[in-house]
Amino acid sequence: MQEKQGGMRSYPRLPVLGWSAFSGEYAAPSLGVLNTRHWRYTTSGRAAIALALRVLKIRPGDKVLVPTYHCPTMIAPVVQSGAQPVFYPITASGGVDLGWLQRAAPAGARAILATHYFGIPQPMSSVRAFCDAHGIAMIEDCAHAFFGMSEGVSVGSWGDLAIASLPKFFPAPEGGLLLSATRPLTGVDFAPRGWRDEIKAVADAIELGVEHGRFPGLNTLLAGVFGIKNWLRHHNRPSDASADSSGKSAGTAIDNRLDTCRPTVAARWIASGVRQFRIVEHRRRNYAALASRLLMVDGAHALRPELPEGVTPYVFPLYVDNPEASYQQLRSAGIPLFRWDDVWPGTPVLDGDHGLYWAQRVFQIGCHQDLSLHDIEAMATTVREMIHP
């Protein structure tokens, strides 16, 4: 944990590169998506969804079942493919509402996106049976669940195809995975990346680690180098570089130009080289610490106060009764948390659905391996102070 100007704590929002990423045992103590038979690196989890739709030959006008609880990057590839997203409700445990699908799913749906939220694997056998009975291809969304098993089977192996995200679990600047237990994926081709992309990926990963002091012995030297680089970039940048011709921020639109590009060497090297045991053990430790410290908070409760055996969490999900009273306060205090309140336009209100409630009220609090127990204690104290009944 570092401090920003004014004394505000600065926690890393995602894993950061540093010497500690390469310490300890290499192998994870549990199975995960890399136990799936076939897999290919992609530039992101979103790109992996786009490629999955392409492999499944989803055409314009085809219907794809998607959950009401989502981030826009889950739905954008469906829309950009020309397919029609059809939203289904999720249950109180975050699973696919199969009862609703049996009653109301449109005839002729071609695929379904089934998600393991927060890193906690959902039961998949009943979803698999539903898909087989109705001729629907399953895309298993493991963006939150790189490690773990569902009903005795490693995550990523239930779907016709599966997708995963690297930066959510590894200190990688980018990256995702397209996976399949049954399809070789030999027809998925990627365009090469230029040397500028490769250098930028390395620099970005190291710079973030330096910002959080993760390279003892080199932090001061590297901080000076990056300080000069950023000064030069700032003074050579046109004043209107952050806006397009319409005056909108360049980051408001989802860029799909990298969908068919090869991820950078740095992303692949980091994902294959860091110690997975540390990732699993520290995340479980941090989740348990948050659960114990946030167990008795007026106006909030943990969705899953006890982490099941063998589960490696992505975040700690906290359900907040009055979210508007504290969300921006916590963000301004530097707490690494977010929510999925930016739902896709046209997402319907469905009977029995928990998705739209979660979109507003579930705070996803960071618990990744590069947060220390001291960080977790300080974060929990701030959350307890700012959550209001």
Residue pLDDT, tens place only, 15-50: 999 999 999 888 888 889 999 999 999 999 999 999
> How would you list the strands of the sheet with 38-42, edge to edge?
38-42, 176-180, 161-165, 137-141, 111-115, 63-67, 84-88
- Assign 209 to helix, strand or coil: helix
pLDDT grade for 246, boundaries at 50, 70 and 90? very low
The pLDDT confidence band at residue 247, using thresholds 50, 70 and 90, is very low
- Mean pLDDT, rounded, of the chain: 91
Report the alpha-carbon distance of residue 357 to residue 292 in Å, rounded: 24
313-365 tens-digit pLDDT: 999 999 999 999 999 999 999 999 999 999 999 999 999 999 999 999 999 99
Whether 239 has a pLDDT exceeding 80, the answer reads no
> Model confidence at 5, in pLDDT bands (50, 70, 90)?
very low
pTM greater than 0.75 (yes/no): yes
CATH numbers and ranges of domains, the chain: 33-180 (3.40.640.10), 275-386 (3.90.1150.10)
Tally of CB atoms within 10 A around 50: 23
Identify the pLDDT of residue 230.
79
Cβ contacts of 280 within 8 Å, gap of 6 or more: 28, 29, 30, 147, 312
CA distance 368 to 312: 10
* 69 has a pLDDT exceeding 90: yes
